[in-house]
Amino acid sequence: MSKLRLEVRGARKQFPGVLALDGVSLALAPGEVLAVVGENGAGKSTLMKIVAGVYTPDAGAVELDGAPVRFADPASAIAAGVVLIHQELNLAENLTVADNLFLGRELTRGGFLRALDRRAMNARTADLLARVGLPAERAFERVERLPPGEKQLVEIARALGTDVRVLIMDEPTSSLTQKETDQLYVVIDALKAAGVSVLYISHRLAEVKRVADRVVVLRDGRNAGELAKSEITHDNMVRLMVGRDLKQFYPKVKRTGTGGDAVLELRGVTFRGGPAHPVSLEVRAGEILGTAGLVGAGRTELSEAVFGVRALTGGEVLIGGAPARISSPAEAIVAGVLLVPEDRRLHGLVLAESVGFNLALPNLDRLGSLFGVQRKAERELHQTWIDRLRVKTPSAAQPVGLLSGGNQQKVVYGKWLARGPRVLILDEPTRGVDVGAKAEIYALIDELAGSGVAVWMITSDMEELLGMSDRVVVMHEGAIAGELSRDALSEEAVMRLATGGTGT
Amino acid sequence: MTRILGVLGLLSILYTVLKFTHPNATSFGNLIDVANYQGRYGLITLGAALVIIIGGIDLSIGSAVGCSAVLFGVLIHKGVHPFAAVVSVVHFGATLGLINGLLITRLKLQPFLVTLCGMFIVRGVARLIGAPVSGTVGTEKVLAVHPEFRGAIESLRYALIGKDETGELLFPMQFVLLLVAAVAVGFFLHRTAYGRYWYAIGHSELAAKYAGVNVNRHRLAVYVACSALASLVGVLLFLNEPSVQSDNAGAGWELYAILGAVLGGCSLRGGEGTAVGMVLGAMVLPVIESIVNFRGEKSDVIPFIVGLTLLAGTIIDELIRRRSRVSR
């Protein structure tokens, strides 16, 4: 390693009640991709925000190319070449790509009127788009019309427009398809070649393995360890993140997985806004049916149709062998079909309300009557599920939006477990959940299937799919592309079906 | 909780100011007069607040009040017994709410636009049905045609307003009505599952739907309740005033109702508010009006003072909120 591009020494940051960072250090060489991993709450975000000038550290030093820096705000960090790309992208959706690339630093002809120099900006836009592999005609497209992957690339292009030296990416692939992710890797490689240093934060350890030259692991606001390129394995990272071995990360303890009777059966189902071809599948008692597919394969839409969010236009849904008419989530819930939705912040939880409010919301009909909720019964329900799922919260009155992602997800599970599911549909069951909570959720899913619940798990996380599924159905462009038994299950087989190839 | 303390503080300041404004200002006579108006505004505030809690807005409240008052007068004028007319008018109000609610839930139109159009349309209806009686209805006017209803109207006025046959206010019955209605609203909001559903809908309609709440049915019910309360207040308006004009009765009252709801702690983003807060919030405006009247100033300054008070309240509220928020 030659001269360092960025060095952080002993960074410390105290928030009211929490010591977020307790003397964290890291070093980054020019043209290096350094992944920072850790559970939620380990201090990754705080560290990144210190580097990018969002926060100022209470103690410790940051050096850029050997010179100490202390950014007062993100603007001065950007001016120095340190750019943070947030997980929730910060693009003006209603403006064009070109407008976004120059937002706040438009090229002008100068003078009092600051008339825009369109020609200069267009030329520069074409150059920037080419560097991230986007076609030049995207320049005049409104950002809201772009798929998520291209938005990510626009963010990177914008960073490139500022002569970036350190690019920080926070969960850049969380909403990308595999193809878009691959494109992102290509761009990252190009950035490296151009000498840009990248700080890469991700929960997806497979991705870290692919992209990182080195990994720094944080735990509880401290450095937990560091892995060189050759040492980057899933097990090594997890061990450092949680500080212990996770023997049973994907448990199969409680369930047999052979499956009993079909509890949920779709026969030739078509639905509004869905593809023309009908879909059939069944989920059996006591098994976990995994469903894979690329983003846009129609998996979420299919599960929404079963849950009553989307109207069926053909075929039938059988629950426990009997035809069920489900035209709203309320009816699905009565039938025992419960959904843990993909977007828990939008669909899964009333974020502004408390943990208890959310746990009780779908169960109020069972707490006394609708006309008088029994407070004692409700308190018992709160305590039961907070304890059983080990939700880390100061009390049931805590607004659920203030919990970590993993604990929020546990509340979503809790509100359904309190009802007792027959069919549990899990759409991305551990998205944005840290490793420790993930293991707990997997154990929970295993236990549920073991008790006879039919679990239908939709996931884009390959490790999760391979680790947890007893059987896998792969979707491609709205249709079932094939089914894989546990024995035939492999990443290659899944990807072949998911990309439209034929099964073996 | 802090919101309730805040509006309580504001009220105690206003009552103190009222006390020092004029020796007669805190006499029993004036206090019940203020309470009379507080009851009237409070009832529409309850409706407006429920709509705001579920994340909606109703701008047609004032027109519904005016139209209901005119309809009440016209019905009696046509020989309908006053008791039956009360029932008909509240039905009419519920129907208005049903139309608002259906347009919002079935056609998925924006509440602001639907009820803004409703404000004009319902005002138009008031003027059309009021045209045969030259746009004015009033107790003496209908009694001139139907003297046989004197007893019924006077007992209604006595029971609902608390005024005797000479028009003298004996007791602020409208405020009692407000308290009764507020207890009912509070029971629904804070003790039943329905209230939970309303808060959930206001904060996140999608999350409520995915938790099995029949979102549309609840939104519909709340719009119906809001308009039904408005039409009841229309009846009260008729009984309280010597005469009511179809072109301006209740005009702008939806804004008083919204103001009361917001002062009482309802967030226009939805999902927040308490029954106690609604009552306290609705009590503010009549006290301000009384202060202005006793200072001998023209009623022209009332909008100015009201606006200034609310703005000051909003600023103080925001500052408190910022201080209490945990910075991360």
The pLDDT tens digits for A321-378 are 999 989 999 999 999 999 999 999 999 999 999 999 999 999 998 887 777 888 899 9
Model confidence pLDDT, tens digit, residues B45-69: 999 999 999 999 999 999 999 999 9
Residue A501's pLDDT band (cuts 50, 70, 90): low
- From residue A430, give the alpha-carbon distance in Å to each of A123, A204, A404, A418, B246: 43, 11, 12, 19, 61
Task: Determine the Cα–Cα distance for residues A40 and A313; give it in Å rounded to an integer.
Answer: 42
- What is the rounded distance in angstroms from the CA atom of residue B142 to the CA atom of residue B78? 9
pLDDT of residue B326 exceeding 50: no
CA separation, residue B8 to residues B4, B18, B277, B304 (Å): 6, 15, 9, 22
Over range A24-41, report the average pLDDT: 89
Give the count of beta carbons closer than 10 Å to the beta carbon of residue A86. Answer: 17
Contact state of B192 with A360 under an 8 Å Cβ cutoff: no
Q: Which residues of A touch B208 (CB under 8 A)?
A: 350, 361
| CATH, residue B40 | 1.10.3470
> Is residue B36 pLDDT above 90, yes or no?
yes
Whether B328 maps to a domain, the answer reads no
Closest CA relative to residue B119, chosen from B72, B70, B64: B64
Is B103 a member of any domain? yes
Interface of A with B (CB under 8 A): 15-17, 307, 309, 328-330, 332-334, 339, 341, 346-353, 357, 360-362, 364-365, 367, 369-373, 415
Q: Note the ipTM here.
A: 0.85
Q: How far apart are the first and last CA of chain A?
A: 46
For β-strands A368-369 and A372-373, DSSP reports them as antiparallel
Q: Is residue B324 part of a domain?
A: no
The answer to whether B210 contacts A347, with C-beta atoms less than 8 Å apart, is: yes
Q: What is the pLDDT of residue A171?
A: 83
Mean pLDDT, residues A202-230 taken together:
89
Q: Which residues of B touch A365 (CB under 8 A)?
A: 193
**What angle do the packed helices B28-53 and B215-240 form, to 10 degrees?**
160
> Average of pLDDT values for A100-117?
79
- Condensed to tens digits (0 to 9), the pLDDT of residues A226-282 reads 999 999 988 788 788 776 554 557 877 778 777 688 999 999 999 988 888 899 999
Asked whether residue B25 is assigned to any structural domain, the reply reads no
Q: For residue B89, give its domain range.
A: 2-15+30-319
Q: Please enumerate in sequence order all residues whose Cβ is within 8 A of that of A299, keeping only pairs 6 or more positions apart, or say none.
A: A291, A293, A427, A458, A475
Specify the DSSP element, H or E, that contains A50: helix A44-51
Chain B residues within an 8 Å CB radius of A353: 199-200, 203, 271
- pLDDT band for position A502 (cuts 50, 70, 90): low
Nearest 5°: the CA angle A359, A414, A41 is 95
Interchain proximity A357–B199, CB inside 8 Å: yes
Q: What is the pLDDT of residue A504?
A: 45
Q: Is B327 within a domain? A: no
- Host H or E run for residue A315: strand A312-319
CA distance B201 to chain A (A): 9
Token pair of B139 as six digits? 């107790």
- Mean pLDDT within A100-109: 82
Whether the Cβ atoms of residue A319 and residue A335 lie closer than 8 Å to each other: yes
> What is the average pLDDT score of chain B?
92
> Could you say which of A328, A352, A415 has the minimum Cβ distance to residue B214?
A328
Q: Is residue B22 part of a domain?
A: no
- Crossing angle of helices B253-263 and B275-294, rounded to 10°: 120
Instruction: Give the per-residue pLDDT at A188.
Output: 92
- How many whole angstroms separate alpha carbon A415 and alpha carbon B38? 42
Q: For residues B233 and B86, is the Cβ–Cβ distance under 8 A? A: no
Give, for B27, the enclosing helix (H) or strand (E): none
In the three-class reduction of DSSP (H, G, I as helix; E, B as strand; rest coil), residue A3 is classed as coil
Tokens 């190319």 identify what position? A65
Instruction: Read off the pLDDT of each residue in B234-254 and give the average, rounded to a whole number.
Output: 95
Q: Residue A102's pLDDT is what?
A: 87
**Cβ neighbours of residue B311 under 8 Å, at least 6 residues apart?**
none
The strand pair at A33-37 and A214-219 is best described as: parallel
Q: What is the pLDDT of residue B302?
A: 81
Contact B207/A349, CB-based, under 8 Å?
A: yes
Number of domains in chain B: 1
Q: Is residue B21 part of a domain?
A: no
Mutate to test the interface with B, among A304, A334, A361, A375 (most CBs of B within 10 A): A361
Average pLDDT over residues B143-155: 94
B24 assigned to some structural domain:
no
What is the C-alpha to C-alpha distance for residues B307 and B215, in angstroms, rounded to an integer? 34
Q: Which of A110-114, A333-337, A471-475 has the lowest mean pLDDT?
A: A110-114
Helix or strand run (H / E) with residue A227:
strand A222-228
Amino acid at A394: P
Q: Which residues pair with A22 in a beta bridge?
A: A12
**Percent share of chain A, pLDDT over 90:** 51
Residues of B in contact with A364 (CB under 8 A): 193, 196-197
* Position A341, amino acid: P
- Of B192, B210, B271, Cβ closest to residue A339: B210
Residue A238, both tokens: 């997890």
Q: What is the mean pLDDT of residues B175-187?
A: 97
Of B193, B207, B210, the CB nearest to A365: B193
Chain A nearest-CA distance from B319, in A, is 19
Which residue of chain A comes nearest to B191, CA vs CA? A372
> How far apart, in whole angstroms, are the C-alpha atoms of residue A72 and residue A50?
10
Greater pLDDT, A446 or A476: A446
User: So what's the pLDDT on residue B327?
Assistant: 36
Whether B204 sits inside 8 A of A329 (CB atoms) is no
Q: Which domains does chain A possess?
A: 6-242 (3.40.50.300), 248-336+422-499 (3.40.50.300), 349-420 (no CATH)
Question: Which chain B residues are within 8 Å of A307, Cβ to Cβ?
Answer: 210
Collapse the DSSP code of A218 into the 3-class scheme (helix H, G, I; strand E, B; otherwise coil) and give the result. strand
